[in-house]
Structures are given as structure tokens and as C-alpha cells.
Amino acid sequence: MKKRIWIIGSGVVALLLWLLPEPTTTDDNSFTLGPVNIFNGENVLMAQYVSVEEGIITHIDSQPPRAHQRVYSTKLDQWLIPGLIDSHVHAWGKARGHALDFGVTTVIDLFGHPSQLGKARHQRRSVSFQQEADMWGAGRLVTAPKGHGTQFGFSPHPLASDGSVEDAVSERIAEGSDFIKIVYTAEGADYPHRPSISYQQLQHVIHVAHAQQMLAVVHVADHLSAEHAVAAGADGLVHGFFDKPMSEELIDTMEQLKVFIVPTNIIYEHLVHGEFNKQVVLPACGDCFNKTNANNLSGGGASMVSTTFYNNLKTNTRLLAESDVDVLVGSDAPNPGTAHGISLIAELMWLEAQGINWQSAINSATALPAKRWRIENRGLLLVGQRADMVLIDSSPERGMEVLLNPTAVWKNGYQVR
């Protein structure tokens, strides 16, 4: 996660720009915004003007464009960042609309009904007006009979010990899966799970997925299973773990093989400590969240309370930040202690609380996941990119809590919040 991010421009922020009223939601996705400070997903640019034409960014410069457009006037000290990407959700119902409330414009669904995938693929190709985040999804899991995932409301078509790996992968591709998600627990793992496919099956699924040009990511929940998944060739781990600190050997191997990780720290904190939402997130939120959902964040936590596990979780956050492993930010919403949108901000606030640089943290929720999930035109504020953007009232360096109350959110260039 260790990054070098440079400030590549500066200028004097103008106090006024064409004194037109600021719109709320709009039915027009062509406009100019500025002057505004930008974190574009990788770099800081000071006092810039951003122009959008039909949902696509066409101009970013210290000078305003000459073309006459509707203008969104900004205020001193406001910042513009890319729409956020939540790299681990389970989206159904109004989830993707709730995500937009907090500036999350893209979600990675890591287990959902395949009937959603076709609509999501069509929707994300369009730059039309929409009131929900775009979605890429894994569809059905690859898991063992009675394994994790089989306890939910629809069959994941589990992979039996004598089942065809080729058929399992082909079925998911035919259903529209954007990548293959595998559930795996190693024999002898410190943190026992439900029944699991074997290590040989894990290797085989990853090999077949790669032969079909598909990413293969693995659900793990302990150190030994993570070691196995990395050794088997996984592209990414979609959970971290807290049973022990990450070994130097595991980190080195992940760096060498370029394996990414989505630690989902906030749900683990809720399991082993259960205080971060109550003590940090909700007080900072104020009235940004309704009471029922706030109760979901604060209730039912600490079911595996352990000082050792909690310290391991913090240690692993620090070890990953000091490494060159690509860390992607994901919430695992709507599991206990989480909710769509706000829990991605909570994850960023967790990183901040562990001393992680704000630019590295936001990079892990914008440009980096777009790269690692192979998502085009998301995660960066650059000319030619889709205008998914979030305006906030101060620099995230002053505190990630500013993201809890975005001033404006644009999806496909339309202001939707």
C-alpha cells in the first residue's frame, strides 16, 4: 500500500466564478466546475477547473475553458475526488442508491444472484441519468456443499468433491460473472469455518478461471488459508484475517505475485471489538444517517471479542500499509455492523485512525481498485474519464469524516446528490 503521491500543480484559488446559483440535482450532464482543489485518485492538483460534456471529463486546467457552459460555482477550500469504489459488498434492493448517498459510485458485489448481472452490465455501459452506483459482480460463489454461502437464500450451486471445475467456472461465466469468487478454508486452520473445497480444487478453479481470462479471488478468514490461496495463484484475497499477524513470508509472496487484498477491517473490528462505529463513526456522522440504520451499525457487535484479535487486526493494517501489497477498501455491507455507503467511509476512517496517509487511503478506494478489478473509466479524474465525482467541503487531510457529508455527488456527469 506504500505509495508516492505528488502534488503536481498549484495556484491561487479564485474567490468567485460567474455568480450563478448552485443547483441540487440536475437533468444536464454538461457543465464546468471550479476553481477547486482536486485529488484525482493518484495526485493532488490545486485550483483547477473541470469541464464535463455529456458525462465525460473534457477539460482539467488551472484556466477556465472558453466554451460557455452551465457553471457550478465552488467555495474556498472545497475539494473534488473521484467517485468512490467499494471493493466488497452484497448489493440488493436499494443498496446501490444508498451507496450514492456517501459518494460511492461503483460497487464490487462479491456474492449475489446472477439475475442482477445482465442489468448491471448494461447500466454501467451507459452515461444516462441513474440514481444508483454501478456494479460489477461475482454472481454465484464457488464453494463446497454446505460450505459458506449455502446458508443464504439461493443456491450457489456448490462444487462437490467429484464435481467438474470446468463446468462450475463455465456456468458462472455464462451467467454473467465478472470474476470468479472462491470460498476456501485450509485444513488445520486456526479459525474453523464451514465445509470447504480442497486445496487441489482451489488450484484447479483458479487455473480454469485464468484460462478463461477471468480474475479469481478467494474468501479467506485466517492466515493459513490466505497462504494457501496465494500459493494457489489467487489474484486477490477478499478478506483479511485477525488470528495472527501477517508473516513476512506471506507479505513478501503477495508483493512478488502482485496479489491484492480487501481487508474488510470494519466488519472484523465489529466482531472482535465492536467500538469503532459507536465511538468514532456515528459521532462524526451527526444526522447523516437515519436512526434505524445507525442502530444496525452499533448493535450486535463484539461476538468474538478478543484483545489479541483486535491487536492483530491493527497490526495487520499497519503491516499492509508499510508493504507494497495493493490494499483495496471494502466494507462487506450489509453484514452486521455495516451499511452501504457509510461503511466504506468508516473503513477509510479506520485507516486514518491507524495512521495511514489520506492520499494512500483514498487511492485504495478510487484509482487502485479500478486498476485491480480491470474497470475502465472509473476511479480517476482525468480527461476522457467518466464524470463520477464527489465534492467535499475540506481536504481529507483534515479528517476523513468530511466524506460522511458530501456537498455534491455526480454520477455520469449528473448531479444526483
Please answer whether residues 31 and 70 qualify as being in contact, where contact means their C-beta atoms are separated by less than 8 angstroms: yes
Least confident of 6-10, 160-164, 255-259, 401-405: 6-10
With a cut of 70, say whether residue 177 has pLDDT above it.
yes
For the residues 337-349, what does the mean pLDDT come to?
96
For the residues 2-9, what does the mean pLDDT come to?
44
The full set of domains in the chain, from first to last, is 31-81+381-415 (2.30.40.10), 83-372 (3.20.20.140)
Q: How far apart are CA 400 and CA 69, in angstroms?
A: 32
With a cut of 80, say whether residue 211 has pLDDT above it.
yes
Least confident of 67-71, 80-84, 196-200: 67-71
Residue 255: count other Cβ atoms within 10 Å of its Cβ: 13
The grid coordinates of residue 417 equal 446528490
Q: How far apart are CA 57 and CA 413, in angstroms?
A: 8
With a cut of 50, say whether residue 282 has pLDDT above it.
yes
- Per-residue confidence (pLDDT) for residue 9, from 0 to 100: 40
How far does Cα 52 stand from its chain's mean position?
Answer: 24
Handedness of CA 159, 92, 381, 384 (dihedral sign): positive
- Least Cα distance to 204 among 155, 169, 239 occurs for 169
**Cα–Cα distances in Å, from 33 out to 20, 37, 378?**
12, 11, 19
How far does Cα 249 stand from its chain's mean position?
Answer: 26
pLDDT-derived band at 85 (thresholds 50, 70, 90) equals very high
- Per-residue confidence (pLDDT) for residue 288, from 0 to 100: 84
Task: State what percent of residues in the chain have pLDDT above 70.
Answer: 92
How far does Cα 402 stand from its chain's mean position?
Answer: 18
For the residues 377-399, what does the mean pLDDT come to?
98
pLDDT-derived band at 3 (thresholds 50, 70, 90) equals low
Q: How far apart are CA 407 and CA 417, in angstroms?
A: 8
Q: How far apart are CA 179 and CA 373, in angstroms?
A: 9
Choose between 156 and 352: higher pLDDT: 352
The grid coordinates of residue 121 equal 452490465
- Per-residue confidence (pLDDT) for residue 301, from 0 to 100: 75
Amino acid identity of residue 70, one-letter, is R
Give the Cα-Cα-Cα angle 4, 269, 368 (nearest 5 degrees). 30
The DSSP element (H or E) to which 351 belongs, if any, is helix 342-353
**Cα–Cα distances in Å, from 87 out to 84, 142, 310, 381?**
10, 19, 22, 19
With a cut of 80, say whether residue 20 has pLDDT above it.
no
pLDDT-derived band at 291 (thresholds 50, 70, 90) equals low
**Cα–Cα distances in Å, from 405 out to 38, 59, 341?**
17, 27, 11
Q: How far apart are CA 310 and CA 300, in angstroms?
A: 17
For the residues 383-401, what does the mean pLDDT come to?
98
What does R_g of the chain's alpha carbons equal in angstroms? Answer: 21
Question: Which residues contact residue 365 at a Cβ distance below 8 angstroms, ignoring those fewer than 6 apart?
Answer: 84, 85, 86, 87, 328, 329, 344, 347, 348
DSSP code for 372: H
The DSSP element (H or E) to which 358 belongs, if any, is helix 358-363
Q: How far apart are CA 114 and CA 174, in angstroms?
A: 10
Q: How far apart are CA 194 and CA 209, in angstroms?
A: 23
For the residues 79-88, what does the mean pLDDT come to?
99
Please answer whether residues 322 and 381 qualify as being in contact, where contact means their C-beta atoms are separated by less than 8 angstroms: no
For the residues 137-142, what does the mean pLDDT come to?
96
For the residues 228-240, what does the mean pLDDT come to?
99
Task: State what percent of residues in the chain have pLDDT above 90.
Answer: 80
What average pLDDT is seen over the chain? Answer: 91
- The whole-model pTM stands at 0.93
pLDDT-derived band at 26 (thresholds 50, 70, 90) equals low
- Per-residue confidence (pLDDT) for residue 120, from 0 to 100: 96
Choose between 290 and 282: higher pLDDT: 282
Q: Is 405 helix (H, G, I), strand (E, B) or coil?
A: coil
